[in-house]
Amino acid sequence: MRVAKMPLWQREMFKIARMLHTYVATALFGLLFMFCLSGLILNHPDWLPPHTQVQSQQTPLPAIVRASLGQAHQAGEDWQPTLVGVHSYLQQQFNLTQPDSIEANADDGLLMLEYKLPGSFVSIEIDMNSNQIRVEQEQLSLLQTLNNLHMGRYSGAIWSWIIDISAVLMLLFAITGMIILWQNRKYRRSGLILAGLGLASPLLVYLLFVPHLLMR
């Protein structure tokens, strides 16, 4: 009995699928490990350490920033137009950009900025009366940091792209795996059955065991 020869395009497709499957898996190893670990921790928040480490430091306010804010403060003007110099200094000195909140108290001569980062929460207090800048950092644990990175929280546009690219590569990994399975006649049937169970089981668990609203 003669076995039908596989067309050239199929051989090339399976060859490319095996190559992509191997190299995508290698490239994704670190990120996949991180996302799996952080996803597990997200499902068990009680595993996280209850306390975070708080650090603070106080330094004299730079003359150029003090002069800019001082003029506005003495004139009773809004500080908002003068914050360009503050943002520039904080970025150069502490690598802080895009504060989540800014609060000014002209009566007390205070300017407060808060930054949320994947690994820490930072508050900046500029005191015009004492000419001091106080930096307080609430340092998160490694697991808490991984959780924020998993969700793309406070991590910026570049990390958001990393998440998107990782998702696309994971889809490519899954698709190439199915192509390789289809080539293997010996394990094709059992593999497709397992794939079907893998698709159906989350839906069944959701319908049967997860609380959800049913409108009647």
- What is the arithmetic mean of pLDDT over 180-193? 85
pLDDT at 78: 56
Q: Note whether 87 and 16 are same-domain residues.
A: no
Domain carrying residue 102: 53-139
Residue closest to 31 by CA, chosen among 175, 185, 149, 154 = 149
Q: Note whether 39 and 23 are same-domain residues.
A: yes
Q: Note whether 37 and 61 are same-domain residues.
A: no
Instruction: Answer yes or no: are the C-beta atoms of 128 and 111 closer than 8 Å.
Output: yes
Per the domain annotation, does 81 fall within a domain? Answer: yes
Instruction: Answer yes or no: are the C-beta atoms of 63 and 205 closer than 8 Å.
Output: no
Residue 146 confidence (pLDDT) above 80: yes
**Confidence band for 149, pLDDT divided at 50, 70 and 90:** very high
Per the domain annotation, does 97 fall within a domain? Answer: yes
Containing H/E element for 136? strand 132-139
Q: Note whether 59 and 132 are same-domain residues.
A: yes
Highest mean pLDDT among 42-56, 146-160, 181-195: 146-160
Q: Note whether 62 and 133 are same-domain residues.
A: yes
Per the domain annotation, does 2 fall within a domain? Answer: no
Instruction: Answer yes or no: are the C-beta atoms of 177 and 21 closer than 8 Å.
Output: yes
pTM above 0.95, yes or no: no
Task: Report the share of the chain in percent with pLDDT over 70.
Answer: 90
Per the domain annotation, does 111 fall within a domain? Answer: yes
The token duo for 15 is 């060859």
Residue 212 confidence (pLDDT) above 50: yes
Residues in the chain: 216
pLDDT at 75: 47
Q: Quote the DSSP letter at residue 98.
A: S
Listed as own residue / partner, the contacts of 70-77 with beta carbons closer than 8 Å and 24 or more positions apart are 70/128, 73/106, 73/109, 73/128, 76/106
Per the domain annotation, does 195 fall within a domain? Answer: no
Q: pLDDT per residue over 106-116, tens digit each? A: 777 788 999 99
Per the domain annotation, does 194 fall within a domain? Answer: no
Dump the DSSP string for 138-184. Answer: EEPPHHHHHHHHHHTTT-HHHHHHHHHHHHHHHHHHHHHHHHHHHH-
Q: pLDDT per residue over 116-134, tens digit each? A: 999 999 999 998 888 899 9
pLDDT at 134: 94
Per the domain annotation, does 20 fall within a domain? Answer: yes
Residue 142 confidence (pLDDT) above 70: yes
Based on the structure, what is the number of domains in the chain? 2
Q: pLDDT per residue over 26-59, tens digit each? A: 888 999 899 998 999 888 888 877 767 899 999 8
Q: How far apart are CA 45 and CA 121, in angstroms?
A: 19
- What is the arithmetic mean of pLDDT over 146-151? 91
Q: How far apart are CA 167 and CA 175, in angstroms?
A: 12
Per the domain annotation, does 79 fall within a domain? Answer: yes
